[in-house]
Amino acid sequence: MPRTRSLAWSELKIGVLTIVAVTIAAMLIFSLTGTKGFAWQRYTLKTRFTNVAGLASGSPVRIAGVEVGTVTDVRLVGEAVDVTFQVNDRNRALITDKSVARLGSVSLLGQSAVDITPNAAGTPIPEWGYVPQGRPVAVMSDMTDAASQGIQELTDMIHDVRGGKGTVGKLMTDEQLYVQLNQFVASAGALTDGIRQGKGSVGKLLNDPASANALEASLKNIETLTSQIASGKGSLGTLLKDDAFSKSLTSATGNIDTLLAKLNSGEGTAGKLMTDPALFNRLNSVTERLDTLVTSLNSGDGTAGQLLKDKQLYENMNGAVGDLRALVADIRKDPRKFLNIKVSVF
């Protein structure tokens, strides 16, 4: 039988060094990719952006600013861009249907990243599922465009002001408007000086303690009056607080409504007068005849008219009445004087 040879220490040392080197390399790889995990510890998700400026394969994927994955593919789909990325499986509970993905930036040089907002309240997104897109974050190009637009608008406004357009432009170019504004400022200054000196009602109110006290007393009286009304005192307070009075007022209003309804339906004399044309015409005819009679009396027509207009006839009638009264008085005084009866026998 062949004789087995024992391993020399030099040979064993090479194997031990190899194992240690592999272990160190594995530890280095794990430390460099610890947040991303090994291939079997990652799962794939997608999101869709309208613009992925600066984003490419290998760009970082972050959750709340912490790097947890890497972009693996950026592909144009129609007018949008599908971004495929891998994240560590231990973050699955934080990426849910209530999370949103935004395009973030890594540096000012234009490199971009996928930023995901964590939200554990939703349902975790399955592998190859889409993370909803959030509101795009303003990038440097957008801010530059906005600044350029603002500068252009400011330049146009300066040109308009120099050309006398608008209120500010007219104020800067119209001498008459400047003079009027200067006069207005002077008038306002004179008004404030007058108020400070106690001139006018406002000046007296500000400088005269008696006027201020009178105004304060009036305000207190108004406050007292409103308090009494709120507490149910007086007629207005009773109207606001007394339910019986309110019911009586409501009942009276109801009776008025009933009366108006009867008038509109033609019930009663007033209702017939309002709704019966024949009765109205008759009443109108009587009124016209009465007007004619009064006109005749005023013009002296007829006995009554002459009695109203003829003074001599009035005096004659007044004298006849006086004589008749005197005759009646004499008859009552001595009836025998006027009752002389003679009897003759043939």
Q: pLDDT in tens for each of the 346 residues of the chain? A: 454 445 556 666 666 777 777 777 666 655 544 445 566 678 999 999 988 888 889 899 999 889 999 999 999 998 899 999 999 888 889 999 999 999 888 765 667 889 999 999 989 999 999 999 887 655 555 667 677 788 888 887 877 777 777 777 776 677 777 777 788 888 888 878 777 777 777 776 677 777 777 777 888 888 888 887 777 777 777 777 677 777 777 788 888 888 888 777 777 777 777 777 777 777 778 888 888 877 777 777 777 767 667 677 777 777 888 878 887 787 777 777 766 655 555 4
Shared domain for 120 and 48, answered yes or no, is: yes
- Does residue 214 form part of some domain? no
Please tell me whether residues 72 and 20 are part of one structural domain: no
Helices and strands, number each (H, E), in the chain = 13, 7
What is d(CA 114, CA 99) in angstroms, rounded to the nearest whole number? 12
Global confidence as pTM: 0.36
Q: Is residue 346 part of a domain?
A: no
Residue 112 sits in the same domain as residue 131:
yes
**105/191 same-domain check:** no
Domain end (from 172, 192, 207): 207
235 lies in some domain: no
Is there a single domain that holds both residue 132 and residue 165?
Answer: no
Structural domain for 15, as ranges: 7-36
340 found inside a domain: no
288 and 309 part of one domain:
yes
> For residue 93, is it within any domain?
yes
Assess contact for 33 and 58: CB atoms under 8 A. Answer: no
From the CB of residue 177, how many other CB atoms can be counted at a distance below 10 Å? Answer: 13
Claim to verify: residue 23 and residue 52 sit in the same structural domain: no
In this structure, the answer to whether residues 134 and 44 fall within a common structural domain is yes
328 lies in some domain: no
Contact between 45 and 131 under an 8 Å Cβ cutoff? The reply is yes
Judge contact between 35 and 68, C-beta under 8 A: yes
Does residue 229 form part of some domain?
Answer: no
- Please report whether residue 320 resides in a domain: no
Asked whether residue 89 falls in the same domain as residue 51, the answer is yes
**Secondary structure of residue 121 in the 3-state scheme:** coil
Listed in sequence order, the DSSP H helices in 231-276 are 234-241, 243-265, 268-275
End-to-end alpha carbon distance in the chain: 225
Count: domains in the chain: 4
